[in-house]
Amino acid sequence: MKHRKTATLLLAACMAGTVVVGCSSTPTQESAGQAVDDGVVTAKVKAALVADPVTKAHQINVETFKGTVQLSGFVETDEARTRALQLARDVEGVRKVKDAMEVRRGS
């Protein structure tokens, strides 16, 4: 009987360990919680860009991975680029901002 109880406890511990490892993140993958957090950060950054009269977020793409926000796409001026980067940095939950935007001046 004692052997059976020990085996059951061992099995339960192994299953719990599998769940913990399955929900953790790796350098290239996010945990479920991080993905949700990053989705919220992305939404907040997009909202800030759209609401701002300088950036207006017309052609700015926002991606977030583990708190690092990457802004890509096109802006019309250097001022819009600088403003977009600052707006992203000011959002709660943003750890770092990467700039992959290009200035495309109107013809």
Domain that holds residue 40: 28-103
Q: Is residue 1 part of a domain?
A: no
Q: Which two tokens stand for residue 8?
A: 């059951």
Q: Is residue 38 part of a domain?
A: yes
Q: Which residues are within 8 A (CB) of 72 and not within 5 positions of it... i.e. 6 or more apart?
A: 60, 61, 63, 100, 101
pLDDT value for 101: 96
pLDDT tens-place string over residues 40-66 = 999 999 999 999 999 887 789 999 999
pLDDT value for 62: 97
Burial class (CB in 10 A: 0-12, 13-18, 19+), 2: exposed
pLDDT tens-place string over residues 8-25 = 545 555 554 444 444 445
pLDDT > 90? residue 37: no
Beta pairing, strands 59-65 & 68-75? antiparallel
Give how many domains the chain has, as a whole number: 1
Q: Is residue 3 part of a domain?
A: no
pLDDT tens-place string over residues 80-107 = 999 999 999 999 999 999 999 999 876 5
